[in-house]
Amino acid sequence: MRNRRVVLTGVGAITPVGNTVEELWEALVEGNTGVGLLTYFDTTKFNSKVAAQIKNFDSNLYMNPKQTRRFDIFVKYAIAAAKQAWNQSGLSLDKIDPNKAGVFLGSGIGGLHTIESEHCKYLEVGRDPNRLSPFLIPMLIVNMASGLVSIELGFKGPNSAAVTACATATHCIGDSFKIIQRGDADLMMAGGTEAALTEMGFGGFCALKALSQRNDDPKRASRPFDRERDGFVMGEGAGVVLLEEMEHAKKRGANILCELAGYGMSGDAYHMTAPDPGGDGAVRCMSIAVKDAGLNMDDVQYINAHGTSTQLNDKMESAAIRTAFGDHAYKLAVSSTKGTTGHLLGAAGGVEIIACVKTIETGVIPPTINYEYPDPDCDLDYVPNTARKAKVEVAISNSLGFGGHNATLLVKKFRG
């Protein structure tokens, strides 16, 4: 059976630089940043004090206020982004088969706000389990974002949730792509969501010494591929896309944003948190995605890199790109948008594939901001500091997670 083609017809995002895709894209192109001093709690005892927080988010715009009291914030972000994607698609529930419409939404960490608040309450009331919320478990479990989005939209088809750290959203989108390709669904709402800026979540990454400590200059703290990078900046938000089988979209006259044509995944089998220094897993992942799309490596024009602003990741990913693409690596535009958004963990891949879609749509490549000092180990074209006009027809997005989870998506300009 010939694989069915898959297109994107809707995108939605909640990010530290805006709560719509339009606001996100404007910030990316202009080189603005959502990074600042963390204000959710007292950071006096924390070695890092910078983060990329969501601002002015109003869940009541997307869901019943009574319901939201039973939802953790990571679920609220997911529902909001999914409804944005749904609205853009122009679909209506009476025109689809709900049994062929599914949801695949994940989170790297899940309901950490709920876990912490309920644990504090448990201790305060003398460890009385009868005082715990009956919604404790359904509020904290990762799959609830996918489950509640399906309830909100009435999607009764395939429903699942990946948990692969920073590769979560990319795996969810890639797996949804395969679900549609093989005919198990015509529509899939897919992506990732994260809201782990709590004392325990933030403190855990501080303990790992993974976060930037550029506390006196927070706007320049996230600086992917720059020689002076000292760690990533933790962020939050959601990135969700609506995938649709091509003929299904064409039949209804949909506005097709681009085609999702390739997906690669691999494992490092190396270390709990550190990437394989040689980048073998990332090399294979990118190569698989390009092959899956039926393209050659030199067909790729732009890479939205994982680019976390950590010493090990940026050095490894640069080496992996050189190995995978050979001489073509130096003809590629490579940028990391994490200088603008921070690292959204399980939501990162969802937001970053949207950046690729917008690049193909607008002919503008978003820059790697805060790039000041070249690193000899990172010697590619990182589109430093200023957006670039360029005709891009093929782009890939990399997501590389703790545990050695690697995922790559390839999108291309839609040709009917």
pLDDT tens-digit map of 375-403:
999 999 999 999 999 999 999 999 999 99
For the cut 90, the answer to whether the pLDDT of residue 66 exceeds it is: no
Active-site option among 113, 306, 356, 405: 306
CA nearest neighbour of 397 among 271, 270, 307, 293: 307
**Could you tell me the pLDDT band of residue 1, with boundaries at 50, 70 and 90?**
very low
Query: In angstroms, rounded to a whole number, what is the distance separating the alpha carbons of residues 238 and 15?
Result: 7
Output the pLDDT for position 2: 65
Catalytic residue status for 343 = yes
pLDDT, average across residues 145-170: 98
What the block records as the tokens of 154 is 């009435």
**Could you tell me the pLDDT band of residue 208, with boundaries at 50, 70 and 90?**
very high
pLDDT, average across residues 124-147: 95
Block residue for tokens 């040709």: 415
Active-site option among 113, 166, 206, 356: 166
| Residue range 304-313, pLDDT digits in tens | 999 999 999 9
More confident position, 278 or 361: 361
Query: In angstroms, rounded to a whole number, what is the distance separating the alpha carbons of residues 86 and 224?
Result: 32
Buried b (16+ CB within 10 A) or exposed e, 323-340: bbbeebbeebbbbbbbbb
Task: Give the global pTM.
Answer: 0.98
Catalytic residue status for 306 = yes
Active-site option among 171, 248, 343, 405: 343
* 31: region left, alpha or beta (phi > 0 left; psi from -120 to 50 alpha): left
Handedness of CA 241, 247, 249, 250 (dihedral sign): positive
Domains and CATH numbers, the chain: 6-412 (3.40.47.10)
